[in-house]
Chains A and B, each alone.
Chain A
Amino acid sequence: MGERALERARDIDGRVQQGKAGSLAGVVMATKDILAMKDQPLTCGSHILNNYKSPFDATLIERLEAEDAIIIGKTNMDEFAMGSSTENSHFGAVKNPLDTSRVPGGSSGGSAVAVAADMALAAIGTDTGGSIRQPAAFCGVVGLKPTYGRVSRYGLVAYASSFDQAGPITRTVEDAALVLETIAGVDPHDSTSAPIDVPRFSSEVNQDVQGLRIGLPKEYFAEGLAPDMRSSLKQAIELLDRAGAKIMEVSLPHTEYAIATYYVLVTAEASSNLARYDGARYGFRSENPASLDEMYIQSRTQGFGEEVKRRIMLGTYVLSAGYYDAYYRKAQKVRTLIRRDFDEVFKTCDCLLTPTAPTTAFKLGDKLDNPLTMYLADIYTVSVNLAGLPAISVPCGKDSSGLPVGLQLIGKPFDESMVIRIGDFVEKQIADQQNAPA
C-alpha cells in the first residue's frame, strides 16, 4: 500500500509540474477498510476476511484517484461496521487521540482518528446508522453522510444495503465538500445510485444564512442530553439566529421508534449480506471440518466477532417464518412513517439542527457489556439513515471535560448543499468566537 502511494505521489508530482494535475492532487487520504482497493487486503475489521484481497477498486476509490488523491492506508473499524466505538475489531480497539482512555466513536473510528491526529487530510468513512457523524463528533472533526444514492456503493462491503452510504471525514466543511463532489454521482455498477446532477458543493462555503429556516426537532432536545452539550448547541443556535436564520421548533413524532426500527431492518439485511462469508471460497475456514454444515458453523463461529454474530442472529430471527410480519414488515411500515415525518417538517424548514450524539466520547470498555446502551449512542443519527437523508456533523465547542461536542445538520434529500452551507457557517463562527479575546 505504501509503495502504491509513493509511486502515485511521484506520478502526481510530474503532473503538477505539467499543470495537468487533478483537483485533489497530492491530498493524502485514508479509507475505512470496508472499501475495496485492487490487490489490497479488505478485512472489514474481521477475522473472517483473513488474507482476503480485493480484485477490484471501489467506484469512489477510482474517482478519488482519478483526481489524484493519494490513499496511504486503510483504517480500523468496528467489524463489518457494526458498532459505535470501534472496539469491535478483530485487530483491536481504536483510541481517541484527544484522550486515549476514550473511544473515538464508531464504526468509522479509524478514519476519524486518522484525520483528528493529522495522519491524513481526509478520510473516507461509511455511515449506516451514524458511523461517519458520531466518530467525527467524538474526535472533533467534520463528518458528512450523503443522501442515500448520492455516492456509489460499488466496492463498499455491504452491512445494511438500504442504509449504507460512504462519505468524507475531514478537518473542515470545505474539505468535506471537495471530497464529496469528487466521489458523488451516478454509477452504472450501482442500481441504487441516483442519476441526479452533482452540484459544486465547495461553492457553498462562505455564504450567509440570512432567511434560512432551521428546525429544531423537539424530540432531539428532550431529557437524556447532557446540560453542557445542550449549552454548546444553544450557543450555535444563537449565532445562527443572530445571523438572520429563522429558528423554529418542529416535531418528528415517530422518533421514539427509530432505534428499534433501525435494529430490526439493519440486522435483517446484515444476516443476508454476511451469508457469503461461509469459508467455502475465500477468507477464513475452520480447520478440518467434519462435514459441510460443520465447515459453515465452525468457520462462522470462529471467524465472526460477538457483535456480528448477535446481529446476524437478530436479523435471521426477524426474517423467519412466523416472525416476519411482526418484526420486519412492521419495521418497514414504521420506516415509511419516519420518512413522512421528515417530508412533513421539510415543508416548512430548509434544514434541521440536532446534537450528533447524546454524549461526548465515552471511556473504552464502558458500554461493551451492554449492547443496548451502545445502540442508544446512535439515537440522534439513525433516523437520518432510515429516511436516506444527507447530514453533517460539525464541531460545536466542548463539554465540561473539554471533549468535543458534535452538531448535526440534516438536509432534504440530495440537498447536501444546504447542510454544507450552514455547517461551514457554524464552523467558522464558532472558530471566530473561540479565537476572540475573552
Chain B
Amino acid sequence: MSTEVKYEPVIGLEVHAQLLTKSKIFSTSSAAFGGEPNTKADPVCLGLPGVLPVLNKQVVVFAMRMGLATNCSVAPISIFARKNYFYPDLPKGYQISQFEEPICEHGHIDVELESGRKRIGITRIHLEEDAGKSVHAESFVASDETLVDVNRCGVPLIEIVSEPDIRTPHEAYLYLTQIKQIVQYLGICDGNMEEGSLRCDANVSVRPVGRERFGVKTELKNMNSFRGVEKALEYEIERQTRLIEGGGEVVQQTLLWDADRGEAIAMRGKEDSHDYRYFTDPDLVPVKISSTWLDEVRESLPELPTARKGRFVSEYSLPAYDAEVLTDDRHVADYFEQLAEVCGDPKAASNWVMVEVLRQVKESGGGIRDFEVSPAALGKLIKLVQKGDINLKTGKAVFAEMATTGADAGDIIAQKGLAQISDAGELAGQVREVLQQNPGEVAKFKAGKEQVIGFLVGQVMRATGGKANPKLVNEILREELAR
C-alpha cells in the first residue's frame, strides 16, 4: 500500500429538551420533574376515552425563543402529527409530535474550536410530548414485570435536530454544551442530562476523507452526560473505522451506550424497521404565529451566552478566560454582575466568583441560585477587604463561614475579633517586640539581606493572630530597621 486511507466521522445530534412549563403540553397536570410515581396525571395525558388535547401556549413561546436563539426561521404555520407505535408508557398508542411542518427550521450555532469558529447547522426544531417511563430491572420490579410511571406523559419537549455537520466527538461536545447553555439562558429547560431534562441521541458514520457520500450510520442512545456523548462517539467511531479497515461493513442499527462498561451495545428488536405512520393530528389546529407575536418574543429574548461573553470583556475589561468561565452558567453570570455592581471592582468580583464562590457552590452540592451568600453580602465583604478592615486571608475565612452559616460578614468579624489591626501605634509595639526577639535576622537585614523582611512580617502576623494589616507591618518594619 502506498498511502493509508484516512477516515473521518460524520455526526448529527438529536437533542430533546424538556421545557420548564408549569403544566403539560396538552393538559393541566404538573410538568415538574419527579414526584411519587403516577401522581401527576389527568384524563388527557392518560389518553382516556373521549379526551382531547389543548395546546399550552407557553410551550410555543419557549420553542420560538429557542428558534430565534439558534438563528432558525420560525414557521408562521406549523402542524402537529401523530407518531403511532405501541408501548405501555405511551397511553394513547401515539405520540403527538411534529413531522412535515415543524415550528422552526434552517438554523445554526457557532462553536469555538482551536482552529477557529465552526458553524453547525440546525435542520429543525419541533414540538412534541414526552412519553411516560417504563421501569424494569430494578430491585422492586419482578423479573417478568414492567412498571409504568405516567408522571412524564405529556411533559413538553422540543427536539433540536442538527445537520450532519459535526466531525469530531469534541465538536459534538461543544455543540451540546452550547445547546445546554442556550436553553438555560432562555430559561426554557434546566439542561440537566443526568436527570434527563436534556437528552441526546447521535447519528454517526465514517467515510474516507475526501469522499462526499456518507457511510452507513448507527444511532447511539442512552448517553446520560455531556462527556458520555463524547466518549460514546469516540468508541463508536473507532469501532466503525476498525470494522471498515478490516474489510467489514457497518450495519445500520441502534446502539445503547453503557457508561459503566464504556461500550455501546446493539439494541435488541427491530427498532429501525418501525413504520410510525405519521399523519396530521385531527384533534389539534395548526399553530399560527403572527409576525407581531414573533417580534414580541424576539424583543423579550435575554442576552445569549456568546454576546454576554463579549460584553464581559468590553464592559468589565475582564480577560477572555474570566468571561468564558463566568458566562458558562447564566446564573453564575447574573451573580457576577450583581456582585461587580455592589463591590465596584469587576476584576475582584471575577476572582472571588471564579475561585471562592464556585468552590463553595460545588461543595454545597446545589446550584448558585440556592447559594447561601447573596451577591450583596459578598460585595460587603469584598469592600471590607478593600478598605483594609480585614486582610484577604481573613476575608476568605469569613466567606467560608458565611457560606455555611449564612451569617453577615460584619457580625462574624466582630464576633471573632477578626478586624485587621491598622493602628500604627499598636503595630509598632508588636514590631519592636519581634525585632528584639530576632536579633540575628535584624543583623542579616542590615548586612543587605533584604529577603529576611518577609520572615519578620510573618512573625508580626503570627503575633497578631493574622489580623495585622500586612502592608502597614511592612512599612513600620522598614522604618524601625532603618533606625
Contacts and interface: CB of A to CB of B under 8 A. Distances in A.
Given A191-B55, A191-B284, A280-B88, A328 B49 contact: no
A388 B141 CA distance: 49
A35 interface: yes
A50 interface: no
A280 B53 CA distance: 21
Given A189-B54, A275-B93, A161 B283 contact: yes
A275 B279 contact: no
Contact of B277 (A160, A162, A320): A320
A396 to B, nearest CB: 33
Interface string B35-59: 0000000010011111111110000
A192 B282 contact: yes
B285 interface: yes
A268 B279 contact: yes
B50 A157 contact: yes
A296 B47 CA distance: 17
Contact of A292 (B43, B82, B146, B283): B146
A278 B93 contact: yes
Interface string A145-157: 0000000011111
Interface string A136-178: 0000000000000000011111101110000000000000000
Interface string A269-303: 10110111010111000000000100010000000
Contact of B52 (A49, A54, A153): A153
B53 A191 contact: yes
Nearest to A42: B49
A319 B84 contact: yes
B196 interface: no
A55 interface: yes
Contact of A276 (B92, B278, B282): B92
Contact of A319 (B47, B48, B146, B277): B277
Contacts of B146: 292
B88 A189 contact: no
A196 to B, nearest CB: 14
Contacts of A269: 279, 282
B94 interface: yes
Given A55-B43, A192-B285, A154 B52 contact: yes
B187 interface: no
B397 to A, nearest CB: 59
Nearest to B148: A280
A157 B49 contact: yes
Contact of A36 (B50, B84, B285): B50
B136 to A, nearest CB: 11
B50 A156 contact: yes
A321 interface: yes
B127 to A, nearest CB: 14
Contacts of A189: 52, 54
Interface residues of B, number: 29
A276 B47 contact: yes
Given A188-B54, A275-B84, A275-B94, A54 B279 contact: no
Nearest to A57: B50
B388 interface: no
Contacts of B410: none
Given A42-B50, A316-B277, A191 B285 contact: yes
Interface string B58-99: 000000000000000000000000101010100111100000
A426 interface: no
B252 to A, nearest CB: 16
Contacts of A54: 48-50
B315 interface: no
Contacts of B275: 320-321
A278 B86 contact: yes
A375 interface: no
A319 B279 contact: yes
A55 B48 contact: yes
B283 A275 contact: no
B277 A272 contact: yes
Nearest to A153: B52
Interface string A11-52: 000000000000000000000000110000010100001001
Contacts of B92: 275-276
Interface string B259-285: 000000000000000010111001111
Interface in B181-226: none
A99 interface: no
A134 B47 CA distance: 30
B88 A272 contact: no
A58 interface: yes
Q: Which of B50, B54, B84, B283 has the most CB of A within 10 A?
A: B50
A191 B93 contact: no
A91 interface: no
A188 B146 CA distance: 36
A272 B49 contact: no
B49 A191 contact: no
Nearest to B51: A154
Interface string A171-208: 00000000000000000111110000000000000000
Contact of A272 (B50, B51, B82): B82
A35 B84 contact: no
Interface in B1-59: 43, 46-55
Contacts of A161: 282-283
A428 to B, nearest CB: 37
B44 to A, nearest CB: 8
A272 B93 contact: yes
A276 B93 contact: yes
A49 B49 CA distance: 9
B365 to A, nearest CB: 38
B49 A190 contact: no
B46 A191 contact: no
A156 B93 CA distance: 18
Contacts of B283: 158, 161, 191-192
Contacts of A324: 277, 279
A157 B54 CA distance: 16
Given A272-B93, A276-B92, 18 more contacts: A52-B49, A56-B48, A154-B52, A155-B51, A162-B282, A189-B54, A191-B283, A268-B279, A269-B282, A272-B82, A272-B277, A275-B86, A275-B93, A276-B93, A280-B91, A282-B48, A292-B88, A319-B278
Closest CB pairs A-B (n = 9)? A275-B93, A162-B282, A319-B277, A161-B282, A36-B50, A155-B50, A157-B49, A280-B88, A321-B275
27 contacts: A35-B50, A54-B49, A155-B50, A156-B50, A157-B49, A157-B50, A158-B283, A189-B54, A190-B52, A191-B52, A191-B53, A191-B55, A191-B283, A192-B285, A268-B279, A269-B279, A272-B82, A272-B84, A272-B93, A272-B277, A272-B279, A275-B93, A276-B49, A276-B91, A278-B86, A292-B146, A320-B277
Interface of B: 43, 46-55, 82, 84, 86, 88, 91-94, 146, 148, 275, 277-279, 282-285
Interface of A: 35-36, 42, 44, 49, 52, 54-56, 58, 153-158, 160-162, 188-192, 268-269, 271-272, 274-276, 278, 280-282, 292, 296, 316, 319-321, 324, 328
